[in-house]
Structure 1
Amino acid sequence: MTTTEPASTRSPLHDFLAPDSIAIIGASTDPTKRGYKAMVGLIKDGYAGKIYPINPRVDRVLGVKAYPSLADIPGTADLALICTPASSVPALLVECGKKGVKGAVILASGFRETGRPEGIQLEQEMLAAARQSGVRVIGPNTSGMFNLHKKLNLLALSNVKAGGIGLISQSGNMLLSLVLEAERNGHVGFSTYAGPGNQADIGFNDYLRYLGEDSQTLVATLYVEGFRDGRRFLDAAREITALKPVVVYKSGSTAAGRKAASSHTGALAGSYAMTVDVLRQVGVSVVQHSDEILPVAEGLGLLQKAGGKRVVVVADGGGQATIACDRLAEAGLELAELSAATQRRLGEILFPQASLVNPVDVAGSSDANPALLADCLEIVAEDDNVDSIFLVGMFGGYYTRFAEDLLGSEMRGAEAMIELARNCAKPLIVYSLYAPVNPPALRRLHEAGVPVYSSIEHAVRVLAALGERGIYLAASSGQKSLPTVLPSRQGQLAFATARSEGRDLFEFEAKNLLRAHGLAVPEELLASSPDDLASFAARFGDQPLAMKVVSKDILHKSDAGGVKLNVRGEAGMRSAFDEIMAASRAYDPQAVIKGVLLTPMARKGVEVIIGVIRDPIFGPVLMFGLGGIFVEILEDVAFRAIPLSPHDASSMLEQIKSRKILAGARGEAAVDKAALVDLLLKVSSIVEAYPELVELDLNPVIALSDGYAIVDARIIVSREAVAPKEMSS
């Protein structure tokens, strides 16, 4: 797969990740040294480019002429592999720059990863030297790199074949694990590998753009321990996933984003769940178990996508068919509902006892003729209700299990399946219990690009990734950018005043800001003293009110006794006012109290929370989930990076486990999902309009059958000066 990008936007990493010449600085005749192993890899694999071993103490390394220094080589080198100690690296990068070297792989450790001041300082010196010299850096503290289509194997790995999986891994051991797994698989190969190490210069976003442009890479696969610039990665991923699949395994959680936060959103953001959500938002296929990395990468590389999540299972055994259905349901996939015509055609070729509904159990029909399974696959593939096809059972092992003369039938069945896979846009995935022994029919399928798995779970994860990718591509194509929202003069004044007074927005200020941008916030009035209550009583009449203390020093109003509900009439308002003031002063005698906010009680509905935090890794991120006091206990929330698209917003509502409550559980009315989607999009636009907004909590928002009501709003203000955006008139 190639891109249509103009040459001017081509990643500069092509100049040295696919080099025509390489210098091995620290090349060695000692077999225990990396400078020796790299030479072995280049020579053994037949690297066709020029090799320049750099070693002042020897004339030749493995028969290749050596040079005392980089300055002594004829011409230049596209890439330098630096195998020398960390302290020598800055000066060597200066030499690289003088010789026109475009990129350098720095194996040494002892830099920022040590956490020691001298290591941090050395990495800063190294980076300064690289930038001054115009040399891009892979690492430091990296396991190295290879480009197997260029026969450039700097890790001297054995039995690793060229193929379509591009791999970036922060763990050298994970690379070795995947290489060994690919060797056992026998059909999976790699294009380019790089270990980003400390990412001092080149980050995951740079590597991803390279793999996206590389014609030899069918799927980009990343093992990530930590992003340094998650926002730039999301931007790159959004572009690359439109061209080819991207698979990410993220270990741990975003440690930089985990902090003591003063809002519900802050407490929940920075989590592993947030990272997964924002990666999937831009089309990345996230795998959550390390043993899924290679199967999913292989499946996506071969099959690319499915039209949706409707799967048909064709099985030759009821037990494994049931297991497959369980795993499909757990993965969020659906059993396709086969049409009457499809069932009739299946009934014409299967035994009477066969199950013709999904899952299709052939019930012994294929025991004497395994090729019959291919006929079943062809029939279900023509059903418009089917997005992907899953063959489950013992195909490939019939000749072993029953009779050797069935091998011919199995091979004919394999050829028919290959023909189906070539001519049908619906992916075909095969699980066989005989896959570990790789019999001829399965070997033929694999060789022809039909993925075969020895694990139902792995096969289902591939089906899920194919469906998710197809849905993402369909939803993202044609998505229009929402109009830019400009900040209001009133809103910017509120932020400026709050910052000058060293506080966040008062609740009424936050709600005024939301109202100014078209959000549904109930009417409210601020009582500075009991004298205001007579006019307020005339205004609100006898309707029940909520009354809340307003103070920058009292964040948790309920804990302070600063909230009264269902207050009616002037007498009730005066009593509640006095009780709130007394309780609040007892809670914090030093608190500066602005007054008491009065607002009509919200109608009964479903409480949800909407929050925003500016994550240090991914930038502004919006959260949605069920609200109230249980949000941090249940953690049933969805995250999306801002700005949101309409698809992003609607998918958040469908993602949470409690989505059935929004649809109207136990006879309750369904909430107005369109209104909630509109609310999420407006919150996203407000965050973009006000860079001064650090965190936002709308908790609860009462979701109603005919709209919503924002009951409580909190906006945390940046303590640092932020350049304001152009205001609306």
Structure 2
Amino acid sequence: MQSIEGHLPLLSPLHAVLAPTGIAVVGASADPTKRGYKAMLGLIKGGYRGDIYPVNPKAASILGVNAWPSITDIPGTPALALICTPAATVPGLIAECGRRGIKGAVVLASGFAETGEAGAALEAQMMKNARAHGVRIIGPNTSGVFNLHHHVNLLALENLKPGDIGIVSQSGNMLLSLALEAQYNGQVGFSTYIGPGNQADIGFNDYLRYLGEDEQTRVATLYVEGFRDGRKFLDVAREVTAMKPVVVYKSGSTEQGQKAASSHTGALAGSYQMTVDLLRQAGVSVVQYSDEILPVAEGLGRLQKAAGKRVAVIADGGGQATIAADRLAEAGLTLATLASDTQAKLDALLLPQASTLNPVDVAGSSDANPSLLAQCMAVVADDANVDSVFLVGMFGGYSLRFAESLLGDEMRGAEAMVELAHATRKPLVIYSLYAPIKPPPLRRLHEAGLPVYASIEHAVRVLAALGERGEYLANQAAQRTKTPMQPSVNGKALFVNAKAEGRDLLEFEAKALLAEHGIHVPDERLVRNIDELGAVAAEFADRPLAMKVVSQAILHKSDAGGVKLNLVGEAALREAYQSIVASSHAYDPTATLEGVLVTPMAEKGVEVIIGMLRDPMFGPVLMFGLGGVFVEVLEDVAFRSLPITRADAESMVKQIKAQKVLEGVRGGQGVDRQALVSLLMGISQLVDAYPSIRELDLNPVIAYPENHSLGYAIVDARIIVERDQ
């Protein structure tokens, strides 16, 4: 079993709010259908040890606790107020809390910014009062909070087990689903829950910071519909994931889902793929399906990480061994190649018909001696080629399936697995088809902190998360760019001129900026009138040339008839020039033509695209993908937050699904990946050096094989200029 590495300094102001010495329940009620009743009940039944102050002008007491007519009348100074009253009352109550010295408020009511302009105005007034009086707001439109280790249960949920999983969820129903799943599991417990609601004041980054600092939380788990400050969240996530795992389920993976999220929370949903890529870049474990949230959180909380993605499978059935191997491959994991001495040790333990390759199929060897599986696990765990051990089959159910007398041997096997878990840093993950009925051997494993899953798919997802986290932590040694690129005099002048003229950089200017900073661009000539074509034709001799219109007004050159290819000789250039000018004027009579660019035709290769945008939520983001139909139809692209490390750039190229295209098809050579990585690193530095770059688009870039002299050719370049505010 692994411990959490290091800890964050206590910077979050939420510790006092979420572990309050006293709580005022504003709108406390004796009506069981009201939240003010549920909150009181949750505090009393949960054994809250601080002072409880029900506030209700019409009641002398609530559930046996003296009530007070207003916040002003409370005799003490609670750290937290739970406000259960309608939205219209909230701004005044927040001011009253501030005057009373209450530093935190949980606002349950809806009817704020998520409902429209009137609600937004009400929310703004609430925040004005909160800032004036130093009150921090959880919500509004929140489902509530609990902190089980401090007996704070403002949701009055029953059968919650204190544990080490911290949860932040924009959906109250998702929290309820996880709570019921944990109750069924029987071994999973929670530390803190927070419903962020509208995030009018405190956002996901603040909650993540708190969970990162909280000693009772081993894994932070978040259900996210939309961020308010995505860039800040990524910054905090990098800090927290260096210390403990963070699991995120991001809803809105489809266009319909994104619309639903926006209407529900009033938050921008953004691009799902971009969000997921950026979260993973920050070390976050992103789960794709809601039923993976708790299994992955449990597995990461208990096991923390694996050194890599090499898995050894021990199975007592060939069919499930095959299924496990299939799922592992699909998850990007590999079957470890067992060392010869490992196989020899397994041969000595198992019957002759057993397979000691990976997956290891014991083939009946454990039928009369199920503890043999623990011995096999110990053998493969000792192999340097193995990062994780995956037991697959019916362990825990041998006494039920074959003979009751086997129970003792299974319990001894379970104890041996527990001892192995404490002796090794390699994760041990168990799938048992008997997990749903929780026989004694599996209960023993669970109680000792070994996760047991009833689904091969869930177990594999946990193994993948452990491997991904291990690789992420290993790559943290790679620092951000140590020597930043400095803007040049010529480069700065390009942006000064463009801004003065109210335009973006023209294509030849964008390429000049790239060349200024060591990024290779093809030879090209700007031709402003037809008489200059003779010199250009002579310079490039008989090489086939391409000609493109240069105009700020014409972005899609091909649509305007502004591109001509495979031109040889001066006559062909003159004819193409006249055609481009005529077509461009016909396309947009008001367009100003700067001339045409003439350049040698690029050699054939693999088309890729590199782009950058300053996202309003996440800041500067780099994109890489396959060009042509791949980017338009398949959207086979990868995103990373800037600046990037070399490991980030390498992972972008590796992430592309159509790897066979990059590796070479039909006998073709694979592209020079390191040349692409260097180009991505160069663009990252360029964007950092020039904050005036709002968007950048290199499309297409032709990627060449490793033996090519250039590595790549930038065929087209576009840079959008950030306008001064």
TM-score by length of structure 2 reads 0.95
What code does the residue aligned with 1:541 have? Answer: A
| Deviation at residue 389 of structure 1 after TM alignment | 0.7
SS in 1 for 2:29: coil
| Deviation at residue 21 of structure 1 after TM alignment | 1.1
Tell whether the 8 Å contact from 2:481 to 2:644 is kept in structure 1 after alignment.
no
Structure 1: 5+ residue stretches without partners? 260-268, 723-729
Tell whether the 8 Å contact from 1:270 to 1:615 is kept in structure 2 after alignment.
no
| Deviation at residue 601 of structure 1 after TM alignment | 1.6
SS in 1 for 2:395: coil
Deviation digits for residues 105-144 of structure 1, max 9, x if unmatched?
A: 00011101112x2111000000111111100000000000
Q: Do residues 598 (structure 1) and 587 (structure 2) align?
A: no
Tell whether the 8 Å contact from 1:253 to 1:270 is kept in structure 2 after alignment.
no
Distance 2:540 2:16 in 1: 72
Tell whether the 8 Å contact from 2:246 to 2:284 is kept in structure 1 after alignment.
yes
Distance 2:277 2:53 in 1: 46
The answer for the alignment partner of 1:545 in structure 2 is 545
The answer for the alignment partner of 1:714 in structure 2 is 718
| Deviation at residue 270 of structure 1 after TM alignment | 4.3
* Correspondence list, 1:163-562, <5 A: 163-253=163-253, 270-562=270-562
What code does the residue aligned with 2:433 have? Answer: L
Distance 2:584 2:206 in 1: 54
The answer for the alignment partner of 2:262 in structure 1 is none
Residue 160 to residue 385, structure 1, CA distance change in 2 (3 Å) = same
Deviation digits for residues 615-636 of structure 1, max 9, x if unmatched?
A: 1211111110111343111211
Structure 2: 5+ residue stretches without partners? 260-268
Residue 6 to residue 210, structure 1, CA distance change in 2 (3 Å) = closer
| Deviation at residue 6 of structure 1 after TM alignment | 4.3
Distance 2:247 2:472 in 1: 14
Distance 1:361 1:223 in 2: 39
Distance 1:195 1:373 in 2: 43
The answer for the alignment partner of 1:262 in structure 2 is none
The answer for the alignment partner of 2:142 in structure 1 is 142
Tell whether the 8 Å contact from 2:507 to 2:716 is kept in structure 1 after alignment.
yes
What code does the residue aligned with 1:394 have? Answer: M
The answer for the alignment partner of 1:65 in structure 2 is 66
TM-score by length of structure 1 reads 0.95
SS in 2 for 1:248: strand
Deviation digits for residues 3-60 of structure 1, max 9, x if unmatched?
A: 54445xx111111011111111111111111111111111111111111111222222
What code does the residue aligned with 1:36 have? Answer: Y
Distance 1:339 1:4 in 2: 37
Give the % identical residues: 69
* Correspondence list, 1:569-580, <5 A: 569-580=569-580
Distance 2:273 2:423 in 1: 38
Tell whether the 8 Å contact from 2:480 to 2:644 is kept in structure 1 after alignment.
no
The answer for the alignment partner of 2:89 in structure 1 is 88
Distance 2:489 2:91 in 1: 51
Distance 1:419 1:630 in 2: 51
Tell whether the 8 Å contact from 2:251 to 2:257 is kept in structure 1 after alignment.
no
SS in 2 for 1:345: helix
SS in 2 for 1:590: coil
Deviation digits for residues 144-199 of structure 1, max 9, x if unmatched?
A: 00000001000010001100000000000000000000000000000000000000
SS in 2 for 1:462: helix
SS in 2 for 1:408: helix
Tell whether the 8 Å contact from 2:8 to 2:212 is kept in structure 1 after alignment.
no
SS in 2 for 1:593: coil
Which has the higher mean CA deviation after the structures are superposed, 667-676 or 602-611?
A: 667-676
SS in 1 for 2:694: strand
The answer for the alignment partner of 1:114 in structure 2 is 115
Tell whether the 8 Å contact from 1:257 to 1:617 is kept in structure 2 after alignment.
no
Tell whether the 8 Å contact from 1:257 to 1:271 is kept in structure 2 after alignment.
no
| Deviation at residue 461 of structure 1 after TM alignment | 0.4
* Correspondence list, 1:564-643, <5 A: 564-643=564-643
Deviation digits for residues 517-536 of structure 1, max 9, x if unmatched?
A: 11110111110111111221
Tell whether the 8 Å contact from 1:254 to 1:271 is kept in structure 2 after alignment.
no
The answer for the alignment partner of 2:38 in structure 1 is 37
Distance 1:209 1:348 in 2: 51
Tell whether the 8 Å contact from 1:165 to 1:220 is kept in structure 2 after alignment.
yes
Tell whether the 8 Å contact from 1:313 to 1:358 is kept in structure 2 after alignment.
yes
Residue 245 to residue 331, structure 1, CA distance change in 2 (3 Å) = same
Residue 711 to residue 236, structure 1, CA distance change in 2 (3 Å) = same
Distance 2:498 2:398 in 1: 75
What code does the residue aligned with 1:714 have? Answer: R
Distance 1:519 1:446 in 2: 56
Distance 1:287 1:158 in 2: 27
SS in 2 for 1:141: coil
| Deviation at residue 253 of structure 1 after TM alignment | 4.6
Tell whether the 8 Å contact from 1:257 to 1:270 is kept in structure 2 after alignment.
no
The answer for the alignment partner of 1:263 in structure 2 is none
Tell whether the 8 Å contact from 1:256 to 1:617 is kept in structure 2 after alignment.
no
Tell whether the 8 Å contact from 2:694 to 2:720 is kept in structure 1 after alignment.
yes
Distance 1:598 1:443 in 2: 74
What code does the residue aligned with 2:61 have? Answer: R
Residue 634 to residue 256, structure 1, CA distance change in 2 (3 Å) = closer
SS in 2 for 1:581: helix
| Deviation at residue 478 of structure 1 after TM alignment | 4.5
Distance 2:429 2:458 in 1: 10
What code does the residue aligned with 2:580 have? Answer: I
| Deviation at residue 258 of structure 1 after TM alignment | 9.2
Distance 2:429 2:141 in 1: 39
Residue 142 to residue 6, structure 1, CA distance change in 2 (3 Å) = closer
Residue 619 to residue 71, structure 1, CA distance change in 2 (3 Å) = same
* Correspondence list, 1:47-62, <5 A: 47-62=48-63
Which has the higher mean CA deviation after the structures are superposed, 666-675 or 287-296?
A: 666-675
What is the count of residue pairs matched by the alignment?
Answer: 709
Deviation digits for residues 259-284 of structure 1, max 9, x if unmatched?
A: 9xxxxxxxxx9421111100000000
| Deviation at residue 73 of structure 1 after TM alignment | 1.9
* Correspondence list, 1:679-694, <5 A: 679-694=679-694
Tell whether the 8 Å contact from 2:431 to 2:454 is kept in structure 1 after alignment.
yes
Deviation digits for residues 42-99 of structure 1, max 9, x if unmatched?
A: 1111111111111222222111122222222223111110111111111111111112
What code does the residue aligned with 1:712 have? Answer: D
SS in 2 for 1:75: coil
Distance 1:629 1:659 in 2: 15
Distance 1:632 1:17 in 2: 47
What code does the residue aligned with 1:108 have? Answer: A
SS in 1 for 2:666: helix
| Deviation at residue 101 of structure 1 after TM alignment | 1.0
Distance 2:40 2:345 in 1: 61
Tell whether the 8 Å contact from 2:252 to 2:258 is kept in structure 1 after alignment.
no
The answer for the alignment partner of 1:650 in structure 2 is 650
The answer for the alignment partner of 2:263 in structure 1 is none
Distance 1:578 1:555 in 2: 19
What code does the residue aligned with 1:58 have? Answer: A
Tell whether the 8 Å contact from 2:393 to 2:432 is kept in structure 1 after alignment.
yes
Tell whether the 8 Å contact from 2:91 to 2:125 is kept in structure 1 after alignment.
yes
SS in 1 for 2:25: strand
